[in-house]
């Protein structure tokens, strides 16, 4: 499970860094999504929140603390991402990440 944990953390690390280094991709995705009207913040501000969230998740996954809660957070976040992207290939990709998080959650100590 350690390899899955590190792999999932790297996914969130890359995505978090990307939100800060190439935010336009996130802005475009959010601007064309139906959720753009529901965001409590501006789209650029929400992209910062995405970056902070993803970097935080990467760190928490690597630290291997509170994994029962972290993996639920990861899975809920990924469901949200899949709803926003509404692209079948993107959804399939994120289902793979979701499966990794689910495997970690199911293997977490009670």
pLDDT tens over the chain, length 110 residues:
789 999 999 999 999 999 999 999 999 999 988 888 888 999 999 999 999 999 999 999 999 988 889 999 999 999 999 988 888 998 999 999 999 999 988 887 65
What's the per-residue H, E or C state across 39-103?
Answer: CCCCHHHHHHHHHHHHHHHHHHHHHCCCHHHHHHHHHHHHHHHHHHHCCHHHHHHHHHHHHHHHH
> What is the predicted pLDDT for the residue at 87?
84
Residue with tokens 């999504």: 33
Domain residue spans of the chain: 2-107
- The answer to whether the pTM exceeds 0.85 is yes
> What is the predicted pLDDT for the residue at 109?
66
> What is the predicted pLDDT for the residue at 110?
56
């Amino acid at each position: 499970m350690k390899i899955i944990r590190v792999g999932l953390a790297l996914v969130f690390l890359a995505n978090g860094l990307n939100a800060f280094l190439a935010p336009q991709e996130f802005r475009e995705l959010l601007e064309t999504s139906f959720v753009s009207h529901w965001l409590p913040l501006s789209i650029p501000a929400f992209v910062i929140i995405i970056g902070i969230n993803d970097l935080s998740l990467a760190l928490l996954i690597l630290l291997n603390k509170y994994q029962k809660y972290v993996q639920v957070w990861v899975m809920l976040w990924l469901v949200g991402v899949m709803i926003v992207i509404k692209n079948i290939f993107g959804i399939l990709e994120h289902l793979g990440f979701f499966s990794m998080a689910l495997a970690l959650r199911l293997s977490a100590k009670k």
